A and B are shown apart, each in its own frame.
Chain A
Amino acid sequence: MTNANVEAGAQPLLELRGVNKSFGVVHVLHDVDFAVYPGQVTALVGDNGAGKSTLVKVIAGIYGRDSGEYLFEGAPVHVSNPRDVAALGVEVVYQDLALCDNLDIVQNMFLGRETRKGLVLDDMSMEDRARETLASLSVRTVKSVRQSVASLSGGQRQTVAIAKAVLWNSRIVLLDEPTAALGVAQTRQVLDLVRRLADRGLGVVLISHNMNDVFEVADRITALYLGQVAADVPVSSVTHNQVVELITAGRSGDLGIRDVAAATI
């Protein structure tokens, strides 16, 4: 794991500055700064209701921002819907995955972006590319790319959803709790895959409740506490306990929000 470019102040691929988001009177995100670096896994941690999913949806263009800047490769960009964000090369793997059980792996990976020869679907080239993508991610657990998604295990489905994001020219992949429903072996596979994405130069955001997962694959940790960023630190500079304190109390030693009482208002 390398933190070199962060230390060197490398440019984030994607950056949010001073983002606020309210739902009616509920102020969910307070002046949030968030950055995604190429080749790095950024873990987004926080208690239930801290605002992680809201932040992901703001990044994905599903929710607009009340205020704050959205920068891509250092330049401010105007994003107003999910299509704009997808056009930047940002893919989101939602917790519920949303795959079509009646379609096979290839059909799911190309859904909505099928390649055609004239009017006719070019199934052969799609199958070829799907297989190459899975192979390049060292996916070894799928019997055939033509098997229906319904026959896959939870980890395999997660793999297909991630591979779907990689198939396209994604620069950034956001994963909302990808291991929440998985067993030990499958979690292992998915974490390996997450690491490989970053090693290929993608910016990866991993939302997780599991500290072991976070410490295993993440390069950076951004902790949210009641909609505020409590800390944004390289993983090597903090311990398990510090992160748990940041999540539950918003501060830990000299890390975290100065005035926790104010944050709870």
Chain B
Amino acid sequence: MYNFEFNRPTDLSAAVDALRGDGAQALGGGQTLIPVLKQRLAAPTTLVDLTGIESLKGIRRMGDMLVIGGGTTHGAVAASGDVAAAIPGLVELASKIGDPQVRNRGTIGGSLANNDPAACYPAAALALGATIETNQRKIEADDFFQGLYATSLEEGEVITAVHFPIPTASTYQKFEQPASRFSLTSIFLAKMSDGSVRVGVTGAGADGVFRHEGLEQALGSNFSASAVDGVSVAAEGMSNDLHGTPEYRANLVKVMTKRAVEALS
């Protein structure tokens, strides 16, 4: 690590002020940022720790929306009865992130802000059509993710909450990368109250998380595993590494989508 100033505000406005400083960066659970700092791959001059801000934490049901504070840990989501009742797929998702230590530190805001192409939450945010609320504005998930590790967040902008429309059914089917155990290719499948089906795919795309329109349409008109068979999922645009070729990832998109359909049938 390089030296940095450490700032631990207890309210959001103080955090936002601190983040205006040159070279300041927000610190959530630190489960991504701390390893990056240890490798000296980032050199913020000030770290603004968000974990002391109570208003960023917590899970609330508001009508047909579930609102999760940006500083809520994966562990809290995994253990929440409200989440289990409203969006069981999010419980599946959160409970499969990393290990207990990671889940008890890592936050939903940090995960979305980081937009790792193999991270889990981005698939849920896209598939559920979530709205990402910041200290400045509200951003639709479809506009939020901008490719690998890129989002529409501006410098110093803090994710304060994520608003998830409550679907009629949801599931997360994770296929783990053998080493990191992040997603090699995973599917978040949601049946929305208007009858539409949304499919978020993470781990697979060369440009990061995406929705698969072909699968959504096929499943929207015929919610069955056989409907998935008829959809062609192209290898083109999928990423390629030690653990998966584009063809393999394309195959996994279909296989995991079918499993998601079976899980909800």
A, B bound: no
Residues of A within 8 A of B (CB): none
